[in-house]
Structure 1
Amino acid sequence: MQSPRLLAGYLRANWPIYAMAVLAIAVANVVQSYYPRVLGDFTDTLQAGGISRKAIVDASLALLAIGLTFGILAGLGQFVIMWLGRRFEFVTRRKLFAHFTGLSEHYYSKNGVGRLLSYVMNDVTSVRESISMGVNHTTNAVILIVSVMAMMIASSIPVHLMLVSMIPLLVIPWVVVLFGPRIRQRSLNVQESLAKMTETAEEQFGGIRVTKKFAVEPIMRGRFGLTVDRIVDNQLRLVRMSSLFQALLPFLGGLSLIVAIAYGGYLAIHGSITIGSFVSLTLYLRMIVNPLQQIGNVINTMQRSRASLERLNGFLSIVPDIREDADAKTLPPGASGIRIRNLSFAYPGSDQEALRNIDLTVEPGKTLGIIGKTGSGKTTLVKLLLRVYDPPAGTIRIGDDDVRALTLESLRKHIAYVPQDGFLFSTTIRDNIAFSDRGAEEDRVHEAAKRAQIYDNVLDFPDGFATKLGERGITLSGGQRQRTSLARGFLKDAPILVLDDSVSAVDAVTETNVIGKLREQRRGRTTIIIAHRISALKHADEIVVLDKGTIVQKGTHEQLMAQEGLYASLYAIQEEGTRYAEGKS
């Protein structure tokens, strides 16, 4: 299924403007079709020896009127059509971006950023060119051909001469049927190879620092070169096919003109037609050759843009995995208690459960700690809470509401999530911290930075909070990026705060200060802390230990230390590591 029909919807919405533009171009071409007739009549007058100053002035004024009318109307119509094409580009790119934001994480895990950019850049531009040039040239060509045919029939040119002259043009439909599907398939191959190149380039730009550190630039250049070679091969195959197609149409028009000159010249020599009719015929046929060339260009462009349009329609038809119910409700402001019952979950496409039979409760205002080995399901649990992936119905509730019955906006605004990677945008530190509230007062921004222990570091920069960060926050160290991301979560001040291993890149002293501030500021508010280091969880009201997707232990730090289990083992390993590090220093 390919819906919505992107181009059809746009044309339908703007048809009155298109109609006016097409009408202007149509009238311009009807007027232009009088040009050969004026010259033919003038030639007959000249041949009859009746030339006079009045005849010359009349013919000149007629040609001037034809030229001015054609120029004004055709220019106006073409401008409007080009403007509509640019507007389509603008509207479609906004629609694509809105669709990007609605897709689930599962989609992005399978499709690279470069492929998505190719929709916005290459495909949209291709379709825009087709509707701008296509409507313009098609109107020009069709109206001009029809007008020329009508003028030829209305003139004194014999019908049999016109029919004989147009025999080569009968081959054109066969040529279109033969070349059209081939051009479209080769165009699709080009667009796919361009998408692959964009994807490869985006990945290599993002990893350029790793590439340089490992001194593997030649390997990366070679890998990128392979994608470029594929584009060249596909484009050459398209160019060969397109060039042959575009050459055949004017060639057939040229054959028609040759037949007209040969046969029409023969009739003129023997007096069957006047010299003026012969001149008109050749000019009419010459006028047809250019529209045929335009039709060839249009068909060529349409076949290429059709491949892009199919890609865009296909992309916009993707239904997000995570959707709201029609009767989804807003999460009440005060709800912060979390209940999870009989939760089991496997990622799409996997037959192995990431979580099994999870049961836990976080009372309002309490702090839950979650710890476990890598791959034990800690982050998966949070993703289900946020509905990044859908949990089974009824398994996760906030307050009295199933998270699947809530609007996504109210659910996610209710939770401040701070991930481990601490992604930062290429803007100022201030804007990154105030990401959830761009209008936040400076005092709130500074207070969030202080709680995250990043305030003093920011002041050390010459521009302070106005410091602009590089891509993905490369200006900052790993620990600074994490603390800036923490400040962003603190400023949101949501009823539920989730820290997903968010202090893993900071030193022990800074971690202690952050956790201490957290306990002060979040007193009476629900907090979930996921960590590998037990030191970040000691203060939690309850700690859950996950292993291979199941809860193997629950309790406070003291209770878990009194047991023989995974928690005590992890604590012993971390203490041994700390003593070793202190001994080395």
Structure 2
Amino acid sequence: MRGEDTIENPKHLLRNFLSSRKWAYALSLLSIVISEFVMVQFPNLLGNFTNTLQTHHLSRAVVLHYSFLLLVVGVLYVLLYGFGQLRNGQLGRQFEYELRRRLFEHWESLSTAYFRKRSIGDLLNHALNDVRTVREALSGGLNILTNALFLLTATLIMTFRTVSPKLTLVSMIPLVFLPLFVIWWGPRIRNASRRAQEALSDMADLTEESISAIRLVKATANEHIEAHRFERRVDVIVRRQMSVFRQSAMFQSIIPFLGSISFSIALLYGGYLTITGQIHLGGFVAFTLYLAMIIQPLQQMGFVFNQFQRASASLARLEVLFSEMPDITNPENPVEVDIQGAVTVSLPKFRYPDGDRDALANVSFTAAAGETIGIVGRTGAGKTTLVNLLPRIFDPPAGSVFVDGHDVRTLRLETLREAIAYVPQDGFLFSTTIRENIGFSKENATEEEIIRAAQSASFWNEIEEFPEGLDTVVGERGVSLSGGQKQRAAIARAFLKDAPILILDDSLSAVDMNTEKRIIAAIRELRQGKTTIIIAHRLSAIRHADQILVLDDGTLLEQGTHEELLAHSGIYASMVALQEGEEALA
């Protein structure tokens, strides 16, 4: 199955990405390195110009000569550094795309149980903020770090060669304490960043929940309550992000402080060396410029250090996501079978992984290929749970659910699920066109096939009335359609798939009785020789079924045809009498 491909964790993915593009990175980094060795010629040229000025050998030709050299240095630096920065930025974007793609594929591979305990807002925060933080460190951070390291290296080489080794060593004394401070302060920034990202996830959770429930919020005039809840979450974010900024600011401030001490030492000792004639005035001027160039990369390295700490926290959060494994996987040696649609259930009990009581108990029935099974019962009776075991949305106990005589746990997941068309009660639609929603179940479906499926679902006449027809965009979760229209679009999608097994999970609850009759008639015509399982609250939808199962509190209490159950005068007969009375009263 596609979702079961091995998913690398973020650190392995990063290492492999860097390894596969090592020559591209080498070229961009080399460009940045050369640019820094070009840039450090600037103070040296100014120092030589100062010495020429001091010896009164200045002329128009000399001025033009140094001006031209400084212009060449500036142009070469811009071209070389700009190229390296552009290439690193492009590579960082490629990694961002790859990481997001792998993360989405990983989510698609996880079982439904995982999403019962994780909020959509938190997952989106991982995909947006955490991935972006890692990318910023990989592209911008790498640019700045490379620039800083080699600018520092080139500057020190120039000061040793062209000015004074003694002055360079003495001036660098305060800066040797910087690595110790980095080691001590790093974990503080990383932990503060992790807590800030967690607060962002909480805010994303609330935002997603509020927007999903916007109709309820407005209908109950509770906008102020939601705003107050959001304000509390934002307050937490502000506090935690301010903690990150304080930690970062304190770290950043120590570098200029140490730089100021270095400048003071350079002025005192460098002035002494100049006065005593141990170095030239031009050398002293060049050294002050070099020292400024040393402080700049140190500040940049501090910034990158902060960025890498935040990226490290995000990478750790992503690693937790990638460490999650699907609960439901393919068997080691799957049975290869061409599914016809016979279903057998012999289920002693079933409990959800996070449940504290059995959701189903003592449920047994057999349906031959081509039969129609009706399932009825009160809300919470276990109807949806039962049909979710068939495609292994949740895993049934071994030896309890069979298709064509094979335990579903021994079949390849892709084979099993491709043989089942499933229509949920809410008729879930994607935020795209009606055409794409219906065609979702069959790749490269023709327009004629889509129209026939819509006609069978009694939806085509309404589609024709829409200005854009099949190309009408339905909005998020089909918000622009009524409940009945959403259900019929989902039923059309299932008809188009034409699978050996069709499951309708109370998928006719929002349509009127006349439309229901037309859809049931279409099912009886289209589904000849194919198995159909219909969950319904309105019993008229399952009267034609070959078998009707009556569930209550997770237990199968009655089983038989419509006529047999009426003759039994049990729960089903009472339900029929109650609904017929309500219909007569209506």
What TM-score, normalized to structure 1?
0.94
Alpha carbons 2:10, 2:318 under 8 Å: kept: no
Give per-residue Cα distances to partners, 1:355-399, cap 9 Å, x unaligned.
223222110111111112221211111111111111122322211
Aligned position for 1:437: 442
Alpha carbons 1:2, 1:314 under 8 Å: kept: no
Counterpart of 1:344 in 2: which secondary structure?
A: strand
Tell me which amino acid in the other structure corresponds to 2:47: G
Aligned position for 2:370: 365
Matched, 1:168 2:164: no
Give the C-alpha shift of residue 52 in structure 1: 4.8
Match runs of 1:431-580 below 5 Å? 431-580=436-585
CA distance in 2, matches of 1:328, 1:253: 67
Give the C-alpha shift of residue 272 in structure 1: 3.0
Matched, 1:114 2:121: yes
CA distance in 2, matches of 1:556, 1:380: 22
Match runs of 1:243-258 below 5 Å? 243-258=249-264
Matched, 1:311 2:311: no
CA distance in 2, matches of 1:523, 1:252: 84
Aligned position for 1:177: 183
Counterpart of 1:118 in 2: which secondary structure?
A: helix
Find the partner of 1:124 among 131, 137, 146: 131
Aligned position for 1:207: 213
Alpha carbons 1:115, 1:199 under 8 Å: kept: yes
Match runs of 1:127-166 below 5 Å? 127-157=134-164, 159-166=165-172
Alpha carbons 1:331, 1:407 under 8 Å: kept: no
CA spacing shift, 1:190–1:331, aligned 2, 3 Å: farther
Counterpart of 1:8 in 2: which secondary structure?
A: helix
Match runs of 1:168-247 below 5 Å? 168-247=174-253
Counterpart of 2:427 in 1: which secondary structure?
A: coil
CA distance in 2, matches of 1:90, 1:549: 45
Give the C-alpha shift of residue 24 in structure 1: 1.1
Aligned position for 2:33: 26
Counterpart of 2:568 in 1: which secondary structure?
A: coil
Matched, 1:406 2:411: yes
CA distance in 1, matches of 2:8, 2:95: 19
Matched, 1:280 2:266: no
CA distance in 2, matches of 1:155, 1:162: 11
Alpha carbons 1:2, 1:317 under 8 Å: kept: no
Instruction: Point out the more displaced range, 95-104 or 122-131.
Output: 95-104
Give the C-alpha shift of residue 330 in structure 1: 4.7
Alpha carbons 1:89, 1:124 under 8 Å: kept: yes
CA distance in 2, matches of 1:29, 1:326: 56
Aligned position for 1:8: 15
Aligned position for 2:102: 95
CA distance in 2, matches of 1:384, 1:22: 54
Give the C-alpha shift of residue 57 in structure 1: 4.6
Alpha carbons 1:453, 1:510 under 8 Å: kept: yes
CA distance in 1, matches of 2:459, 2:61: 90
CA distance in 1, matches of 2:308, 2:377: 56
Alpha carbons 2:103, 2:127 under 8 Å: kept: yes
Equivalenced residue count is 579
Alpha carbons 1:331, 1:411 under 8 Å: kept: no
Tell me which amino acid in the other structure corresponds to 2:254: L
Give the C-alpha shift of residue 156 in structure 1: 4.3
CA distance in 2, matches of 1:344, 1:382: 14
Give per-residue Cα distances to partners, 1:12-66, cap 9 Å, x unaligned.
2222211111111111112222322232233233323444555445434433333
Tell me which amino acid in the other structure corresponds to 1:161: L
Counterpart of 1:498 in 2: which secondary structure?
A: strand
CA distance in 2, matches of 1:340, 1:576: 34
CA spacing shift, 1:156–1:427, aligned 2, 3 Å: closer
Match runs of 1:64-75 below 5 Å? 64-75=71-82
Tell me which amino acid in the other structure corresponds to 1:101: E
Tell me which amino acid in the other structure corresponds to 2:305: I
Alpha carbons 2:340, 2:530 under 8 Å: kept: no
CA distance in 2, matches of 1:434, 1:569: 41
CA distance in 2, matches of 1:247, 1:15: 35
List alignment gaps of at least 5 residues for structure 2.
Answer: 1-6
| Identity level (%) | 47
Find the partner of 1:83 among 90, 97, 101: 90
Counterpart of 1:358 in 2: which secondary structure?
A: strand
Tell me which amino acid in the other structure corresponds to 1:572: A
Match runs of 1:388-427 below 5 Å? 388-427=393-432
Tell me which amino acid in the other structure corresponds to 2:397: P
Aligned position for 1:340: 345
Aligned position for 2:43: 36
Alpha carbons 1:416, 1:497 under 8 Å: kept: yes
CA distance in 1, matches of 2:137, 2:333: 41
CA distance in 2, matches of 1:465, 1:55: 77
Give the C-alpha shift of residue 503 in structure 1: 0.8
Tell me which amino acid in the other structure corresponds to 1:315: L
Alpha carbons 2:349, 2:361 under 8 Å: kept: yes
Find the partner of 1:104 among 93, 111, 114: 111
Give the C-alpha shift of residue 203 in structure 1: 1.4
List alignment gaps of at least 5 residues for structure 1.
Answer: none
Give the C-alpha shift of residue 121 in structure 1: 1.4
CA distance in 2, matches of 1:120, 1:140: 29
Give the C-alpha shift of residue 343 in structure 1: 4.5
Alpha carbons 2:10, 2:99 under 8 Å: kept: no
CA distance in 2, matches of 1:112, 1:52: 74
What TM-score, normalized to structure 2?
0.94
Alpha carbons 1:250, 1:290 under 8 Å: kept: no
CA spacing shift, 1:46–1:4, aligned 2, 3 Å: closer
Give the C-alpha shift of residue 541 in structure 1: 0.8
Tell me which amino acid in the other structure corresponds to 1:183: I
CA distance in 2, matches of 1:43, 1:571: 105
Give the C-alpha shift of residue 446 in structure 1: 2.2
Give per-residue Cα distances to partners, 1:125-149, cap 9 Å, x unaligned.
1111111122111111111111222
Give per-residue Cα distances to partners, 1:299-325, cap 9 Å, x unaligned.
011111111111112212211122223
Find the partner of 1:299 among 305, 317, 323: 305
Aligned position for 1:46: 53
CA distance in 2, matches of 1:17, 1:67: 25
CA distance in 1, matches of 2:533, 2:88: 56
CA distance in 2, matches of 1:57, 1:511: 91
